[in-house]
Homo-oligomer: A and B are copies of this chain.
Amino acid sequence: MLIVMHHSATDAQIDAVHRAVEAMKLQPVSIPGSQRTAIGVLGNQGYVDDSAILELPGVREVIHVSKPYKLVSRDFHPASTIVDVKGVRFGDGCPPVVIAGPCSIESEAQMLASAQLVKAHGAGMLRGGAFKPRTGPHSFQGLGRDGLKLLRQAGDAVNLPVITEVMRIDQLDDVCRYADVLQIGARNMQNFDLLKEAGRRSHPVLLKRGMSATIEEFLSAAEYLLSEGNSQVILCERGIRTFEKATRNTLDVSIVPLIRNISHLPIIVDPSHATGKRSLVAPMAKAALVVGAHGVMVEVHPDPDKALCDGAQSLDGPAFERLMAEIKGLITYLGY
């Protein structure tokens, strides 16, 4: 932590800051400059709470050098994490994985058709939502536990591991029973109680970036999972909220190479939710892979125009087949 004093800060003010730092059991070191004094703070083992310093007289600014995460950081854990889900592997050196399936689980027939479709074209994991967060109270809210069973059945039928979103702590047992990967959605990225409970399970967790979460907050949320002992975490970029409304969100493609550099965790991309437009799913999936994403998650529905949820962004069978053909060519280019 670096404490920057005002140009006009007095010696007494600088002394008071020193004493406040010492009261936190840390060591202050004055760095006199030509225009102002800065005070370095040494001895901290991690992120320091700056509340006691920030509004002391003469303090202009407090700059944090340590990040609020450590376990997820490549700085301290250089080796890449590989997340292995029944042999489907996410991480450096592994070919990218395609997770596919419908936004929501609607019926046995729909799930089975979806599973056969995505398996036929090479997806590595089946997705489907049983509990749906919907912006308005009158929309379809998902099949719940019955949906979980249908998902499991469909996955088993085609021999694919399955992933589904868990929204509440009291859903964790059910979701762990039926799914292979726990998905924590963008709206729950800072639901710290849920993160902690998920961190105590042994299931791999796919953590989606919050709609307005910085990379630092995203990694801090993952830190919650790791600090409870669960290091099988896959990060997922799904678009951020910006002023541009031509797409539902703005897919922050650059987060992929950035996070691969900062963290040892695998990162995938969800182009369906990010863009909200079927026609953008394939190009953005390819963009994600070409910058190094360890996978993509796409919405596929055998009959998107009849989907109960997010049909406008779902690929139908022929579109998914085309996408998978393009991805295969791209993976060859990428050297896998």
- Of A138, A243, A274, A278, which is in contact with the most chain B CB atoms at under 10 Å from its CB? A243
Residue A54 interfacial (CB < 8 Å):
yes
Scan A7-44; emit 1 where CB is below 8 A from any B CB, else 0: 11000000000001000000001011111101010111
Query: Does A215 sit at the interface, judged by CB under 8 A?
Result: yes
Q: A307's closest neighbor in chain B, by CB? A: B51
The answer, among B193, B256, B258, for a CB contact under 8 Å with A168, is B193
Cβ-closest chain B residue relative to A309: B51
A122 CB, min distance to chain B CBs, angstroms = 17
B136 touches A47 (CB 8 A): yes
The residue from B169, B242, B280, B290 contacting A290, defined by CB atoms under 8 A apart: B290
Q: Are A278 and B63 in contact (CB under 8 A)?
A: no
Residues of B within 8 A of A168 (CB): 169, 193
> Does A8 lie within 8 Å of B75, measured CB to CB?
yes
Residues of the B chain whose Cβ atoms lie less than 8 Å from the Cβ of A52: 305-306, 311
Does A329 reach chain B (CB closer than 8 Å)?
yes
Contact A136 B69 (CB under 8 A): yes
Contacts of A175 in B (CB 8 A): none
Give me 26 A-to-B residue pairs in the complex whose CB atoms sit less than 8 angstroms apart, sorted by A's number: A2-B38, A34-B43, A35-B45, A35-B66, A40-B40, A46-B138, A50-B312, A52-B306, A55-B278, A63-B65, A68-B136, A135-B217, A136-B223, A137-B192, A168-B169, A212-B212, A214-B243, A216-B246, A247-B258, A257-B280, A258-B280, A283-B290, A287-B287, A287-B291, A329-B333, A333-B333
Given contacts A51-B309, A137-B228, 7 further A-B contacts (CB under 8 A): A2-B38, A20-B305, A33-B42, A51-B312, A135-B217, A191-B191, A257-B280
